[in-house]
Amino acid sequence: MFNSLSDRLTATFKNLRGKGRLSEADVDATIREIRRALLDADVALPVVRAFTGRIRERALSEEVSGALNPGQQVVKIVNDELVGILGGQTRRLNFAKRPPTVIMLAGLQGAGKTTLAGKLAHWLKSEGHRPMLVAADLQRPNAVNQLQIVGERAGAVVYAPEPGNGVGDPIQVATDSIEVAKSKLHDVVIVDTAGRLGIDEELMQQAADIRSAVNPDEVLFVIDAMIGQDAVKTAEAFLDGVDFTGVVLSKLDGDSRGGAALSVAEVTGKPIMFASTGESIKDFEQFHPDRMADRILDMGDIMTLIEQAEKNFDEKETEKLKKKVESGEDFDLNDFLTQMAGLKKMGSMKKMLGMMPGMSQYKEQLANFDEREVDRVEAIVRSMTPQERSNPKILNGSRRARIAKGAGTTVTAVNQLMERFTQAQKMMRSMTRGGGMPGMPGGGGMPQMPGMGGMPGAASGKKKKPAGKKKGRKGGQSGNPAKRAQEAQALADKKAGKTQDPVGSAFGGVDLGKDEEFDPANLPKGFGGIFPGGKK
């Protein structure tokens, strides 16, 4: 089970407390963690080596050893480098000065070329072009047929003079298609070629011949986001063979970490231009290097989460809740129900929790998480009277017994839920009060952290609390949440008294000194430390 890089590095740097500088051994340990994180994300080994070499150099320099929180600083460097490679030169499609613009697709079998051809046509159409699809995959049974159907869905004309299934000459088809496009006034021609292996010289030669026959303005290399170490060899072979000008990452809607993106971008120096993210013809987007970097580093995908939230939440309800919270009223179980309805619409709870940054360390727990737990909680809440929902304080023993009966569960379950709810309520309250998020009931009822008041903004506040949580777990934790919290407090106090606690700040995605106010742009990274505790 791998934790997010951020968490791992923090663990590595935990032992450095009090040391002013990073020793070479410390840096080595850090580099090992980075190497492992990248390999786990399927970044190819040679690329990992080159990459860690660069990180090492920068990590040994002043910018890290001088930093307040070296761990976070290193994460930042890694992130910067990643974004640098992935998106150093993001660009748009090159269109020919004199139409038609020719786009050729190439890649391994099953990478998703034909599907992408349809998506690309659909997208170009929405941009006001008149694309034409060319069926030059005459190899795979019924690939021509598939392209025709895909073209129909995309509302694009398909040029398919040959039946396929091994019949016909793809080079001839490609050559002819240009004339056809000119005569029919199509301004973009998309040539779908057969999937081929990098080591298949004959077919690579054929691809090269198609390339020289149609002289494309763009050659897009389609690569599966799930590909492993083979990415480098494949990319190099295709670069040699067809000299592609851009890369499309397909099947990004899967849960692979997509290290291949980094491998290909680094090895070939070609930009990744598009991402294909689903089976529907509209699931096609421009590539976001920063999101990809976060994904490779397992930082969670908060942007996607937000996008989904925006789509699925009832705006009015949220506005109401916002007002309520701001006016200092308590978040009650009615709000909880409405929010939950919205969350349910967003899809599986597991998936969503998985998208939260730092959650990957709970992967095992998440895997064990029973989706129906949500329904059980809902059943309990729905078994309450409206009065009880808006004022949970009135819940006494007999009411609880009734609720348990109504929900088909035990009083203990009801009690547990109420306990958690009280904690969440507390958290809400403190959030509205101080802008920070101190008492997170993560490890079970966290009290206000020492020094919390001085925290600059919500972002850093959010990062602060897990530090406490971790401390709580570390020293002979107690099974009793309240007691554990107490211990955490004591431990934290001790530490705060001794030195300026570097662990706390190491969680920060934002440098505490610099960011005086909460900058939402920092949110994704800032969230990187949400649940970093709980190491085993």
Partner 1 sequence: MDQPIILLIVAAIVFALVVGVGISLRVNARKKGLDDRRGIDAEVTGELSIDDVAEAVEKDKAEARGSEVPTEPASRLVRLRERLAKSNSGLGRGLLNLLSRDNLDESAWEEIEDTLILADVGVEPTTELVDRLRERVKVLGTRNPEEVRGLLREELIELVDPTMDRSLADTGKGGDPSVILVVGVNGAGKTTTVGKIARVLVAEDKSVLLGAADTFRAAAAEQLSTWGERVGVETVRKEEGADPASVAYSAVEKGQADGSDVVLIDTAGRLQNKRGLMDELGKVKRVATRPLGEGHEIDEVLLVLDATTGQNGMQQAKVFAEAVDITGIVLTKLDGTAKGGIVVAVQRELGVPVKLIGLGEGADDLAPFTAEGFVDALLD
Q: Can you spell out the DSSP letters for 75-128?
A: HHHHHHHHHHHHHTT---PPPPSSSPEEEEEEESTTSSHHHHHHHHHHHHHHTT
Q: d(Cα 297, Cα 34) in Å, to the nearest integer? A: 9
Q: How far is the CB of 64 from partner 1 (least distance, A)?
A: 24
Nearer to partner 1, 67 or 333 (CB): 333
Q: How far is the CB of 310 from partner 1 (least distance, A)?
A: 7
448 binds partner 1 (CB under 8 A): no
DSSP β-ladder status, 157-159 and 131-136? parallel
Strand segments, DSSP code E, in 283-441 are 284-286
Q: How far is the CB of 476 from partner 1 (least distance, A)?
A: 11
CA angle 50–52–55, rounded 5-degree value = 115
Q: Which parts of 509-528 interact with partner 1 (CB under 8 A)?
A: 520-521, 523
Q: Which parts of 385-414 interact with partner 1 (CB under 8 A)?
A: none
Nearer to partner 1, 199 or 394 (CB): 199
Q: Which parts of 410-439 interact with partner 1 (CB under 8 A)?
A: 416-417, 420-421, 423-424, 427-428, 431, 437
Q: Nearest CA to 294 among 262, 249, 248? A: 262
User: Which residues, other chains included, contact 335 with Cβ-Cβ below 8 Å and sequence gap of 6+?
Assistant: 321, 324
Q: Which parts of 12-41 interact with partner 1 (CB under 8 A)?
A: 36, 39-41
Q: Which of 75, 138, 220, 302 binds partner 1 (CB under 8 A)?
A: 302
Q: How far is the CB of 161 from partner 1 (least distance, A)?
A: 17
The DSSP call for residue 9 is: H
177 binds partner 1 (CB under 8 A): no
Binding-site size, partner 1 (CB under 8 A): 102
Specify the residue for token string 């997010």: 4
Residue 395's alpha-carbon distances to 36, 337, 462, in angstroms, are 50, 18, 31
Nearer to partner 1, 197 or 394 (CB): 197
Q: d(Cα 158, Cα 429) in Å, to the nearest integer? A: 60
160 binds partner 1 (CB under 8 A): no
Residue 21's alpha-carbon distances to 56, 60, 513, in angstroms, are 15, 10, 19
The DSSP call for residue 293 is: H
Q: How far is the CB of 306 from partner 1 (least distance, A)?
A: 6
Q: Nearest CA to 100 among 80, 82, 124, 64? A: 124
Residue 505's alpha-carbon distances to 213, 463, 468, in angstroms, are 59, 8, 11
Q: Which of 8, 76, 211, 251 binds partner 1 (CB under 8 A)?
A: 251
Q: Which parts of 212-241 interact with partner 1 (CB under 8 A)?
A: 224, 226-231, 233-234, 237
Kindly give the interhelix angle for 70-87 and 5-14, rounded to the nearest 10 degrees. 150
Q: Which parts of 46-105 interact with partner 1 (CB under 8 A)?
A: none
479 binds partner 1 (CB under 8 A): yes
Nearer to partner 1, 103 or 160 (CB): 160
Residue type, 124: L
Q: How far is the CB of 365 from partner 1 (least distance, A)?
A: 5
Q: Which long-range contacts (CB under 8 A, 24 or more apart) does 313-322 make?
A: 313/339, 313/342, 313/345, 314/338, 314/341, 314/342, 317/342, 318/342
Nearer to partner 1, 178 or 427 (CB): 427
Nearer to partner 1, 364 or 517 (CB): 364
Q: d(Cα 368, Cα 102) in Å, to the nearest integer? A: 49
Residue type, 450: P
Edge-first strand order for the sheet with 246-250 is 157-159, 131-136, 188-193, 101-107, 218-224, 246-250, 272-276, 284-286
Nearer to partner 1, 158 or 273 (CB): 158
Strand segments, DSSP code E, in 332-427 are none
Interface region with partner 1, contact rule CB under 8 A, candidates 11-19, 73-81, 88-96, 360-368: 360-368
Q: Which of 170, 436, 444, 526 binds partner 1 (CB under 8 A)?
A: 444
293 binds partner 1 (CB under 8 A): no
Q: Which of 60, 180, 343, 379 binds partner 1 (CB under 8 A)?
A: 343
Q: How far is the CB of 154 from partner 1 (least distance, A)?
A: 11
User: Which residues, other chains included, contact 49 with Cβ-Cβ below 8 Å and sequence gap of 6+?
Assistant: none
Q: Which of 17, 56, 125, 153 binds partner 1 (CB under 8 A)?
A: 153
Nearer to partner 1, 100 or 441 (CB): 441
461 binds partner 1 (CB under 8 A): no
266 binds partner 1 (CB under 8 A): no
Q: Which parts of 368-387 interact with partner 1 (CB under 8 A)?
A: 368-369, 373-374, 377
Q: Nearest CA to 14 among 439, 467, 363? A: 467
Q: Which of 51, 221, 331, 507 binds partner 1 (CB under 8 A)?
A: 331
User: Which residues, other chains included, contact 124 with Cβ-Cβ below 8 Å and sequence gap of 6+?
Assistant: 131, 188, 190
Nearer to partner 1, 23 or 365 (CB): 365
Nearer to partner 1, 42 or 162 (CB): 42
Identify whether the C-beta of residue 167 lies closer than 8 Å to the C-beta of residue 225. no
Q: How far is the CB of 5 from partner 1 (least distance, A)?
A: 13
DSSP β-ladder status, 188-193 and 101-107? parallel
135 binds partner 1 (CB under 8 A): no
Q: Which of 86, 93, 102, 150 binds partner 1 (CB under 8 A)?
A: 150
Q: Which of 65, 90, 145, 390 binds partner 1 (CB under 8 A)?
A: 145
Interface region with partner 1, contact rule CB under 8 A, candidates 54-62, 86-94, 174-182, 361-369: 361-369
Q: How far is the CB of 50 from partner 1 (least distance, A)?
A: 14
